[in-house]
Structure 1
Amino acid sequence: MNIERLSLDQLRVFAQVADSGSFLAAARALARAQSAVSYAITTLEGQLDVALFDRSSYRPQLTAAGIELLRDARQVLDQVDALQARAAAYSQGQELEVTLALDVFFPTSTLVGLLGEFRAAFPGVTLRLEIEALGSVAERVIDGEAMLGILGTLPIIPPNLLHVSLPTVLLVGVVAPTHALAQISGRIPAHVLKQQVQLVLSDRSALTANQDFSVHSSLSWRMSDLGTKHALLRAGMGWGYMPRHVVADDLASGRLVQIQTAGHPPQGAALPMQCVYRPDRHVGPALSWWLDALARLTTFDPV
């Protein structure tokens, strides 16, 4: 067996014969002489030391080994084609990979819609998503680890980043129906809120070290994961602010109830979201697509 001298052309001929059903049909599809196609297959079989086709009948039939090796050949050809496409795109200035840092408050339904459009426009570009909170999003962009970030839970924009304003997310105070605060109608005074455990998002970034945003209680439980906070709220472990699109089903079903706090308007607080990127970041076609797509958003999906 001598696989070192295998060629991509042999593998393409192998796949074409299998698809066409005969050496003659494959030769026509490849615009080659039938003898050239037969020679390519015979040489390939000799190098692999295995028969790929049974030629005892009128039409060549794949052997058991041929069926298995055809899968491997197609996988190699697919990878080579992807390599060529990505290299050609990169030579024209297109990125091979785009890394986005997204705030946990960015609506998932909107993100899924954008991802579907992006995949259709740039099928060969690898996408890396990093879901963060507070200063971690901006920090990833500033450090150059993320090419673009979407801020939400961080109410300030670092001065060294360019930004594009996005639609707002409605932030509402919620508790489980069994919680003591759920029994209070109207605005809940600040001194009452301070007596109850508030569930708060936190992060470990230097940008927000020792800073609190919308924290009204001296009793706080802190976590970096929005899903954990959501679960603890439904379990009645405390009260907290959540994006309304995340808790809409809970409010409709009664698993959570909305409360009015002294720090927010009765209907909730409109939280501005911002797309940020470094001014020295090279903007290729794929990243440019994201900037344009985000700038076109006038609203997030209704809930």
Structure 2
Amino acid sequence: MNIERFSLDQLRVFVQVADSGSFLGAARTLARAQSAVSYAIGTLESQLNVALFDRSGYRPQLTDAGEALLRDARQVLDQVDSLQVRASAFSQGQELEVALAVDVFFPTDCLVDLLRRFRDAFPAVTVRLEVEALGAVAERVIDGRAMLGILGTLPTTPPNLLRVTLPSVMVVGVVSPQHPLAAVKGRIPDKLLAQQTQLVLSDRSELTARQDFSVHSRLSWRMSDLGTKHALLRAAMGWGYMPEHVVKDDLKSGKLVRILTSQHSPEGMALPIQCVYRPDYRAGPALSWWLDSLAGLKTLDGISVTS
């Protein structure tokens, strides 16, 4: 058996015969003589050294081997078709991949909506997505690992990056109703905050390493995952700041309550969100789509864009 002699045409004929249920049906669909279809299948069976169809009945039936190999044939053809689409797009200046770095505070619903619309506009372009916090987003753009970054928890924008201002995210201070701070009425003194464990997002980058933002407590627990921080807050393991869209259901159900700190009101603080990219990066059609779509957002609900 010499698989290097296979042709894509033979595989397409094989799949079409299986889909049509007959050699004649496949011949009509492919606009070929029935004898040519029969010859292609016979040659393929000879090369594979296995019968793909049982021809003893009125219509050819896939053998067990044919059923199994049909799945492989479809997969090969799908990959070849994908390769052709991507190569054609690349030859026209379109990127094969878009690498994005997104802040953990950016609303997931909005991100999902953007990704869905991007997939519809650029089905041949793959997406590499990293979700980070603080300086890690900007660092990935600066070193070229990401073409575009969405900053949230980093309060300043590195001067060597271009930026597009996006709608803000509301950030609120919260605790579990079982936490001691939940019983404090009004604004909580900094001295009292400092005595309680604060849950803080950690920075995995060198850009802002060892820098603290909105940290008031002497004792802080640090983590890189927003979901873990959320779970620890609900377990009354500490207090902390969270994006309002993440905890809105908990605030409504009473699993978390708002607190008033010296820097934040119960209504929260508007956190600026920015899209950043390198000025020397040549944006192709796919990356340009992201820049235009992000710049057009009126809200981060994931459904409203400028016309």
Q: Report the TM-score range of the alignment, normalised by the length of the smaller protein.
A: over 0.9
Cα distance in 1 for partners of 2:207, 2:176 equals 32
Tell me which amino acid in the other structure corresponds to 2:211. Answer: Q
For residues 188-203 of structure 1, the aligned pairs below 5 Å read: 188-203=188-203
Is residue 95–residue 284 contact of structure 1 (8 Å, CA) maintained in 2?
yes
Alignment partner, residue 109 of structure 1:
109
Is residue 202–residue 224 contact of structure 2 (8 Å, CA) maintained in 1?
yes
Tell me which amino acid in the other structure corresponds to 1:152. Answer: G
Is residue 173–residue 260 contact of structure 1 (8 Å, CA) maintained in 2?
yes
The answer as to 2:284 corresponding to 1:275 is no
Tell me which amino acid in the other structure corresponds to 2:209. Answer: A
Cα distance in 1 for partners of 2:210, 2:42 equals 72
Cα distance in 2 for partners of 1:290, 1:270 equals 23
For residues 31-110 of structure 1, the aligned pairs below 5 Å read: 31-110=31-110
Is residue 110–residue 300 contact of structure 2 (8 Å, CA) maintained in 1?
yes
TM-score, normalization by structure 2:
0.95
Alignment partner, residue 233 of structure 1:
233
Is residue 187–residue 266 contact of structure 1 (8 Å, CA) maintained in 2?
no
Indicate the SS of the match to 2:131.
strand
Shift of 1:2: 2.4
Greater shift in the superposed pair: 290-299 or 157-166: 290-299
Is residue 141–residue 149 contact of structure 1 (8 Å, CA) maintained in 2?
yes
Alignment partner, residue 141 of structure 2:
141
Alignment partner, residue 208 of structure 1:
208
Q: Provide Cα deviations, 1:15-55, integer angstroms capped at 9, x if missing partner.
A: 11111222222112111122111111111111111111122
Greater shift in the superposed pair: 143-152 or 278-287: 278-287
Cα distance in 2 for partners of 1:63, 1:127 equals 39
Alignment partner, residue 305 of structure 2:
none
Shift of 1:260: 0.6
Tell me which amino acid in the other structure corresponds to 2:299. Answer: T
Cα distance in 2 for partners of 1:249, 1:69 equals 50
Tell me which amino acid in the other structure corresponds to 1:39. Answer: Y
Shift of 1:219: 2.0
Greater shift in the superposed pair: 81-90 or 114-123: 114-123
Indicate the SS of the match to 1:188.
coil
Cα distance in 2 for partners of 1:275, 1:174 equals 27
Structure 2: tracts of 5 or more residues without a match: 303-307
Tell me which amino acid in the other structure corresponds to 1:127. Answer: V
Shift of 1:58: 2.3
For residues 25-36 of structure 1, the aligned pairs below 5 Å read: 25-36=25-36
Q: Provide Cα deviations, 1:63-83, integer angstroms capped at 9, x if missing partner.
A: 221111111111111111111
Cα distance in 1 for partners of 2:30, 2:300 equals 50
Cα distance in 2 for partners of 1:257, 1:54 equals 69
Alignment partner, residue 248 of structure 1:
248
TM-score, normalization by structure 1:
0.96
Q: Provide Cα deviations, 1:162-215, integer angstroms capped at 9, x if missing partner.
A: 000011111100011111111111111222212222111121312112211111
Please, what is the CA RMSD of the aligned residues?
Answer: 1.3
Shift of 1:57: 2.1
Alignment partner, residue 262 of structure 1:
262
Is residue 196–residue 238 contact of structure 2 (8 Å, CA) maintained in 1?
yes
Identical pairs, percent: 77
Is residue 55–residue 61 contact of structure 1 (8 Å, CA) maintained in 2?
yes
Tell me which amino acid in the other structure corresponds to 1:192. Answer: L
Greater shift in the superposed pair: 122-131 or 98-107: 122-131
Cα distance in 1 for partners of 2:5, 2:116 equals 41
Shift of 1:112: 1.1
Shift of 1:265: 3.2
Tell me which amino acid in the other structure corresponds to 2:5. Answer: R
